[in-house]
Each structure stands twice: as C-alpha cells, then as structure tokens.
Amino acid sequence: MLQESELRNILEQMNEPFLHRSLKELDAIQEIKVKPEKEHVSVKIALAKTGTPEQMKLQQEVVAKLKEAGAQTVGIRFGDLPQETVAKYQQAAAPASGNLLSPGSKTTFIAIASGKGGVGKSTVSVNLAVALARAGKKVGLIDADIYGFSVPDMMGITQRPTVRGESIIPVDRFGVKVISMGFFVEDNAPVIWRGPMLGKMLTSFFKEVEWGDLDYLLLDLPPGTGDVALDVHSMLPACKEIIVSTPHPTAAFVAARAGAMALRTDHEVIGIVENMAYFESKKTGEKEYVFGQGGGEKLADELRVPILGKIPLQQPDWDELEFAPSVYAADHPIGKIYGEMAERIVELVPVR
C-alpha cells in the first residue's frame, strides 16, 4: 500500500531545477494526497519559475519516480515559491549563451505560418530548415506549434535536450538545432494550457536555450492567428514570414488572414509556398492538380510577394538507418525544390 511518508521521502530528495536545492530544503512540497483504493497520488510542488521546459522535465521525473514506488496514476500541480525563498537561494547567474532576443543578436527570424491546419506547414518548416543547413547556414528550428507539435517525429528525433548549468541544449539533427514542446511532455500527452502559460514556454525557448550563433531561426507556428502567433509577433518585431497554402482557392483565402496579420504587426512576408501543388505520375509524367490550381498565385498577388516554390505530392524515400519520415534527401526531386527555395531565401534575406 502506498504510504505518504515514503512518497514524501522520494520527492524530498529531488532538486528544484532553478535554485538547485532539494525540494526538502526549499520546503517546496506543498501537498501530497494518496488514494490507496485507486493507487492514485496527487502532489503540489512549488518552483522558482513555472511554465518552463524545466518544469516539464521535473514533472516527467516525478511521475517516473512515483510510479516506480507503486502509483498507478499521478497528478501534479505546480505553484510558486515565496519570493523570500527565491531571493535567499538565487545566485546571480550569467544569461544563457546565445540569448536570441538580446539587442546584439544577428540571427534572422523566419516564421512559417498558415491560415489553417492540414496544409503541410510543419513539413515545409522542417525541410526548409534542413535545406538551409545543407547550404552551409547555421540553422535553428523552434516547433512553436505547442498544441500540435510534430517536428521531432517528422525529423526522426528520438533523444531529448540536455541541461547544462542554467541552459537547455537543443537536439541537433541534420545540422539543425531543434527545440519543441514535444520534448517536454510524456507519452505524447495533450498540452492543456492557456495563453499565458504558452507565452512563458515560448519565451523560455528563446532565452533559456543555448542556441549559439545562428544565421537563421525558423519558427513553425500553429495555424491561424491565435495566442502563440500573437506572442511571436510581439516578441519578434523584425521577424520575416513565409505563408504556406495549398492551391485550393479556399485554403488561399484563409491563408490570407495570416498574411494580413503579419503585415499589421510590421512583419515582412517574404514569399508564399504552395504545398500539394500537384501529383506527378511516375509512369507517365502527367501532372494531376488534385487540389485545384491558382490558389498560390492569388495569395501571392494579394500579398504582393513572390511564390518561393511549388511542392508536389510525393513521399520521401525512407532510410531505415537514418529514419526521418518527413525529410527529403538532397537529391530527391522534392529535396531539390527545397534546395532552390533555400537559395531564394538567402537571396531575399541575406545573413547579417
């Protein structure tokens, strides 16, 4: 049978991720409740900062430890440590290396946006990032679609970021430094957060991740014009944007909203990507426009920007040794299109 004293002893030995003191020393365990008949444990823990990747990492560790002790299910809530406790233990720490929001940062931000879901925005984000890295650029990618994160799976990433001192070290894959909400949730669990919590997480991605020197940081935005997109617009006033749509006129009509939002917040839209533009038969070479035609041109005309590329429907060639289900090889026909698009982006937005 689960005993509260045993569970408390387990938790007390764990460290608070920011002050690097045990939860016992900080008196951070505010509540432990045990329901023996259901083998359920609920706890409340106070932290110096909430809504951060470190909180998500601690949550994973707590769940793992309590399940090892016999709990079938674990519920966790987080609160804030008293300011006097934080002030007592907090040490003056140097800001994380590579703070991308610092005035001296030379990184160019490019947000990949869409008006609606299902147009392949994340696929475009991943392959543009990889194509820029193949072109010799130093590239980072933030999976800012915090509710619908998919970048780690698309890139075949199985490891998680590590922590060094006060900084989070992003995962490097295909020469791209990657950070995603998907790294900080357990077993593909849903993220049930409101806007302010999402904003804190996004800020952590910029300020607490050790990016190093980047030429380009791409952001895979959630579809539409919701909280995360608004946060990006306010945090990154000089951000460039690429709008992804399909050829269907309705998709282009909806995508125009994302473009209009960018323009209203002084973000420069540098181009349109028309995804799923056509299907080309391997046997005959005939192109079938299964989602219609003209949407990309209509959107480009409306926003007065060029079409960076038209991506046909075709699967990548999967390599079991380096599995990445959504990344096209450099010599794949679609990989070559992404390579050309990367060259165009470098021309439009040169490295600073």
3-state secondary structure at position 181 = helix
Residue 92: per-residue pLDDT: 38
Residue 97: per-residue pLDDT: 46
Amino acid at 319: D
Where residue 96 falls among pLDDT bands split at 50, 70, 90?
Answer: very low
pLDDT digits (tens, 9 = 90+) for 58-88: 888 899 899 988 889 999 999 999 988 888 8
Vertex 325 angle, CA 142 and 242, to 5°: 40
The overall average pLDDT reported for the chain is: 84
Residue 27: per-residue pLDDT: 93
Mean pLDDT across 171-187:
85
Residue 310: per-residue pLDDT: 94
Residue 298: per-residue pLDDT: 87
pLDDT digits (tens, 9 = 90+) for 208-239: 888 988 999 999 988 765 566 667 767 787 88
Neighbours of 260 (CB within 10 A): 15
Mean pLDDT across 191-204:
64
Domains, in order of start, for the chain:
4-89 (3.30.300.130), 108-348 (3.40.50.300)
Residue 31 β-bridge partners: 44
Torsion, Cα of 251, 271, 232, 152 (10° steps): 80
Question: What CA–CA distances, in Å, run from 259 to 112, 216, 237?
Answer: 11, 20, 15
Is the pLDDT score of 187 beyond 90?
no
CA pair distance 328, 314, nearest whole angstrom: 10
Is the pLDDT score of 312 beyond 90?
yes
Among 66, 80, 75, 89, residue whose Cα is nearest residue 9: 66
**Residue whose entry in the numeric block shows the structure tokens 């991720």:** 17
